[in-house]
């Protein structure tokens, strides 16, 4: 891959940013090391299988975009040239992520500003920022590229002059105050690469819980499980996820029952259409409930017949895969 002539300066800009007190003494201290891309688990599996991240336009043309987390109204106003780029962010917890993250009930979605912006089981791909931003074909913006006000830039000087305190802004702000009116726009500043991006600069894949990590590994073929296992990390970092909607935190499987522990922080407890698929040697069985509502202690227990030969179980909420894994009884040789 060809590099920009000022690649070394770009590296220095990022190092200097990481060394500034307002960054290094806060939860943002590691942000300059990476650029971020989030997607639903079904897209994540395809990305790892292909070894490529694709632009929205290309992914749609090849039927590779299994879940679209973008709002159609926002996408309708986005330049087609931008939609033909792989899009990443300078930071996690962007405004777009706020509306999309987590399994939302239909009742919750009906009240959302962007009802069709939905990324039910969200995974973060963290790429080495120096490697990506130094690529000759990489550009970046000073705000969200769904807006015509965003400038598309490229050089180390441009990178250094970005409004970093607004891009990295955390906490509440007042959009009616002049000095804070564009913070949401700046938080959505993007990094773009034309058409496709291979995974050579991929450093980590973050998920919200151990249950979601188990699900991703289960969905990958054995060779990819081995390749990515150490890069797939379950994290409770508040600087990565909003964690405000429904997801499965932990699961305990046995031959007698399956226990699903959901996040108690959810603001979208249901009702959901619940479907549990159980696959055993004799075939597939399915059970469900039309009006599944999460309540304290946020645990769903599924009694099972004695299944000493093991089984594969999948949990769906409103047809969104929330958990999948295989249970195998371990024989202790004494």
Q: What is the pLDDT of residue 235?
A: 85
Q: What is the mean predicted confidence (pLDDT) over 102-111? A: 90
Q: What is the mean predicted confidence (pLDDT) over 72-87? A: 83
- What are the residue ranges of helices labelled H in 204-318? 210-219, 222-228
Q: In which residue are the tokens 């564009």 written?
A: 182
Establish whether the linkage from the previous residue to 201 is cis, with ω within 30° of 0: no
Q: Is the pLDDT of residue 333 over 60?
A: no
Q: What is the mean predicted confidence (pLDDT) over 124-147? A: 97
Q: Is the pLDDT of residue 331 over 90?
A: no
Q: Which structural domain range is residue 35 located in?
A: 7-209
Residues 129 and 197 reside in one and the same domain: yes
Residue 175 CA to residue 185 CA, distance in Å, equals 10
Q: What is the pLDDT of residue 332?
A: 54
3-state DSSP assignment of residue 192: strand
CATH (domain of 310): 2.60.40.380
Residue 27 falls within a domain, yes or no? Answer: yes
Q: In which residue are the tokens 């040697």 written?
A: 281
Q: What is the mean predicted confidence (pLDDT) over 100-126? A: 89
Residue 187 CA to residue 286 CA, distance in Å, equals 43
Joined together, the tokens standing for residue 193 give 């690469």
| pLDDT tens digits along 192-214 | 999 999 999 999 999 999 999 99
Residues 84 and 198 reside in one and the same domain: yes
Considering the entire predicted model, what is its pTM?
0.94
Q: Which one has a higher pLDDT value, 70 or 118? A: 118
Residue 127 falls within a domain, yes or no? Answer: yes
Please give the mean pLDDT across all residues of the chain: 92
Residue 314 CA to residue 215 CA, distance in Å, equals 9
316 near 277, Cβ under 8 Å?
yes
Residues 254 and 203 reside in one and the same domain: no
Q: Which one has a higher pLDDT value, 307 or 208? A: 208
Secondary structure element (H or E) that encloses residue 159, with its range: helix 156-160
Residue 258 CA to residue 300 CA, distance in Å, equals 8
Q: What is the mean predicted confidence (pLDDT) over 150-159? A: 98
| Closest among 170, 125, 123, 164 to 143, alpha carbons compared | 164
Residues 157 and 250 reside in one and the same domain: no
């Amino acid at each position: 891959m060809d590099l920009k002539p000022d690649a070394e300066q770009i590296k220095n800009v990022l190092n200097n940013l990481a060394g500034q007190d307002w960054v290094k003494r806060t939860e943002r201290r590691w942000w300059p090391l990476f650029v971020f891309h989030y997607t639903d688990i079904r897209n994540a599996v395809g990305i790892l299988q292909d070894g490529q991240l694709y632009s929205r336009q290309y992914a749609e043309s090849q039927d590779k975009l299994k879940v679209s987390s973008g709002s159609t109204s926002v996408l309708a106003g986005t330049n087609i040239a931008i939609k033909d780029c792989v899009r990443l962010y300078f930071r996690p917890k962007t405004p777009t992520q706020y509306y999309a993250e987590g399994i939302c009930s239909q009742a919750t979605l009906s009240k959302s500003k962007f009802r069709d912006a939905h990324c039910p089981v969200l995974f973060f791909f963290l790429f080495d920022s120096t490697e990506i931003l130094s690529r000759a074909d990489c550009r970046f913006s000073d705000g969200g590229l769904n807006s015509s006000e965003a400038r598309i830039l490229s050089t180390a000087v441009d990178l250094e002059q970005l409004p970093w305190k607004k891009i990295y802004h955390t906490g509440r702000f007042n959009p009616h105050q002049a000095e804070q009116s564009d913070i949401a726009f700046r938080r959505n500043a993007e990094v773009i690469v034309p058409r496709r991006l291979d995974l050579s600069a991929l450093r980590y894949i973050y998920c919200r819980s151990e249950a979601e990590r188990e699900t991703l590994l289960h969905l990958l073929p054995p060779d990819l499980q081995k390749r990515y296992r150490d890069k797939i990390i379950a994290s409770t970092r508040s600087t990565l996820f909003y964690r405000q909607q429904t997801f499965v935190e932990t699961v305990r499987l046995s031959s007698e029952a399956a226990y699903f522990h959901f996040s108690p922080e959810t603001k979208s407890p249901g009702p959901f259409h619940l479907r549990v698929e159980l696959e055993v040697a004799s075939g597939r069985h399915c059970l469900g409930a039309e009006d599944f509502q999460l309540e304290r202690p946020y645990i769903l227990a599924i009694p099972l017949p004695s299944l000493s030969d093991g089984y594969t179980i999948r949990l769906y909420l409103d047809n969104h895969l929330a958990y999948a894994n295989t249970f195998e009884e371990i024989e202790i040789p004494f």
